[in-house]
Structure 1
Amino acid sequence: MDILDAYLAGTGELRTAFDGMTRDQLLARPVEGKWSAMEVLCHLVDADLSIATRIRAALRLDRPRMMAATMEEMTAKLAVEARDAEEELNLFETIRSQTARIVRSFPEEALDREVILVKVTGDEVTWSVRKALTIITGHVGHHLAFVAEKRRALGLPA
């Protein structure tokens, strides 16, 4: 299950990306029109939590139907200023390690189990556990490039 190794590697990459940033630096917006580093971190944790829930549903039910998140929901800023970066990083690590442990407890073919995501339009998209893991693994790398940009703008090593 190589995808799980890549999925788990994201925890170290995320922690490294935010290493040494003060709370003020995390909340700063050094790149105009872009999220703060803290907003990126919270978005990544929220997205991981959502995907982990879908993976669990696919593993325990036969093609469950779940509402797909809209772009607005996926970028909603849920109390970013009230959240703690260390707690978010720990939660991210816990979500990923627990999800990987659950997936590994199933036979390899469980990666092909599916969840049906229903969009607000009524359209349906089917995701396998493998696809969900692949998408969320790539999601971190996509956003870490923006964190590096913020670090450079703040005069921090990227």
Structure 2
Amino acid sequence: MLKRPSVEDYPEYYRGYVGLVPEGDLVCIIEEQQKVIEELISSLSDIQANHRYAPGKWSLKEVFGHMIDAERIMSYRLLRIARGDQTPLAGFNEDFFVENADFYKRSMTDLLEEYMTVRQSTLALVRGLPEESWDRKGIANEKVTSASALVYIIAGHELHHLNIMKDRYLE
């Protein structure tokens, strides 16, 4: 079972995400998240998914697309760091990614399929990493991050946005 990373294992701006992750088997938690997201997203129409809770805010569809993009990027960082690659990894501008993704043109069914594929890939990576990988550290977005912290960041990022979806879009 993967242990919760110490605060020295990841940048301070991720503390909120890591803090959202409950105690327990992280693989089981991530699998359960997938079920929750699948149920929630499959119940939404494209009209609901294009809703913005305020002017200038992302639509629910864009939030979901951002979640997919972020998980893909964090999983890539996890792969590189877990394999011992010490090459500094660049950050990314989430607003730029959303602006250039045209999520509004895609159906929620299509986005859900992509999410499921990305999540299954993340789970396969996590399950296949050797134990000694978890303590490896690398540089991502100019900050030291451990492989184990990245898995918690992935889970916490999803919980953060799931809470936003429920509180601001699906009231």
TM-score normalised by structure 1 residue count = 0.79
Distance between the aligned counterparts of 1:69 and 1:88, measured in 2? 21
| Superposed displacement of residue 62, structure 1 | 2.9
| Superposed displacement of residue 77, structure 1 | 5.2
SS at structure 2 position matched to 1:89: helix
| Superposed displacement of residue 108, structure 1 | 1.8
Number of residues paired by the alignment? Answer: 146
Unaligned ranges ≥5, structure 1: 119-123, 153-158
The answer as to 2:128 corresponding to 1:89 is no
The one of 75, 85, 88 equivalent to 1:62 is 85
The answer as to 2:146 corresponding to 1:131 is no
| Superposed displacement of residue 90, structure 1 | 2.0
Distance between the aligned counterparts of 1:84 and 1:61, measured in 2? 38
| Superposed displacement of residue 71, structure 1 | 5.1
| Superposed displacement of residue 75, structure 1 | 5.3
Distance between the aligned counterparts of 1:4 and 1:103, measured in 2? 8
| Identity across the alignment (%) | 25
The answer as to 2:68 corresponding to 1:45 is yes
Query: In 2 relative to 1, CA 62–20 (structure 1 residues): closer, same or farther, beyond 3 Å?
Result: closer
Q: Structure 1, residues 34-92: CA drift from partner, whole Å, max 9, x if none? A: 32210111110111111111111123343231112245446545111222222222222
The one of 128, 132, 137 equivalent to 1:114 is 137
CA RMSD of aligned residues (A): 2.1
| Superposed displacement of residue 27, structure 1 | 0.7
The answer as to 2:152 corresponding to 1:143 is no
The answer as to 2:41 corresponding to 1:23 is no
Q: Structure 1, residues 82-120: CA drift from partner, whole Å, max 9, x if none? A: 2222222222222222222223223222112223114xx
Unaligned ranges ≥5, structure 2: 2-24
The structure, 1 or 2, with the larger RCO (C-alpha pairs under 8 Å, 6+ apart) is 2
